[in-house]
């Protein structure tokens, strides 16, 4: 796992986004939902998470936006593998209130 991610814990969503001033850097932010809701899904391996992934195209616009749900025991490990491959996105805990949050994020990403 990338060292700086080890310091981030107790989060409902983790964003790994292009840096505003340097396209070769990634900004990572951990956030908690204001309205946490109730967890949906999961397994003994871990909770269910929403995942949104994309890359930045030549014109600086999000391309190849992909959304799916997954079960992670450690989402920070997953993010650690994506950052060096130039993927950006968000991993958010799947709850009764998270769908609206993720739909809004994807709409903004696609410019809707």
Any idea where the domains of the chain sit in the sequence?
3-109
What local confidence, expressed as pLDDT, does residue 22 receive? 66
Distance (Å, rounded) from C-alpha 21 to C-alpha 16?
Answer: 15
Using CB atoms within 10 Å of the CB of residue 54, give its burial: 0 to 12 exposed, 13 to 18 middle, 19+ buried: buried
Whether the pLDDT of residue 108 is over 90: the answer is: no
Mean pLDDT of 12-32: 85
What pTM value is reported for the model?
0.87
pLDDT band at 23 (very low <50, low <70, confident <90, very high): low
**DSSP codes, 21-57:** S-TT-EEEEEE--SS---B---BTTB-EEEEEEEEE-
What local confidence, expressed as pLDDT, does residue 59 receive? 81
Q: How far is CA 27 from CA 14, 21, 69, 96, 102, in A?
A: 10, 10, 23, 27, 19
Specify whether the CB–CB gap between 10 and 86 falls below 8 A.
no
Distance (Å, rounded) from C-alpha 49 to C-alpha 95?
Answer: 9
Mean pLDDT score across all residues of the chain: 89
Whether the pLDDT of residue 20 is over 80: the answer is: no
What's the pLDDT tens digit per position in 51-106? 999 998 888 788 888 999 999 999 999 999 999 998 999 999 999 999 988 999 89
First to last CA, the chain: 34
β-strands 48-56, 88-93: how paired?
antiparallel
What local confidence, expressed as pLDDT, does residue 24 receive? 66
């Amino acid at each position: 796992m990338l060292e700086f991610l080890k310091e981030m814990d107790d989060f409902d969503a983790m964003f790994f986004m292009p840096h505003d001033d340097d396209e070769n850097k990634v900004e990572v932010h951990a956030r908690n939902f204001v309205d946490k809701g109730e967890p949906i899904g999961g397994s003994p391996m871990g909770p269910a998470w929403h995942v949104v992934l994309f890359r930045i195209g030549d014109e600086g616009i999000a391309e190849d936006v992909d959304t799916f749900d997954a079960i992670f025991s450690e989402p920070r490990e997953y993010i650690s593998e994506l950052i060096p491959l130039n993927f950006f996105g968000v991993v958010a805990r799947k709850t009764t209130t998270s769908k609206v949050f993720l739909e809004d994020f994807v709409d903004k990403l696609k410019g809707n």
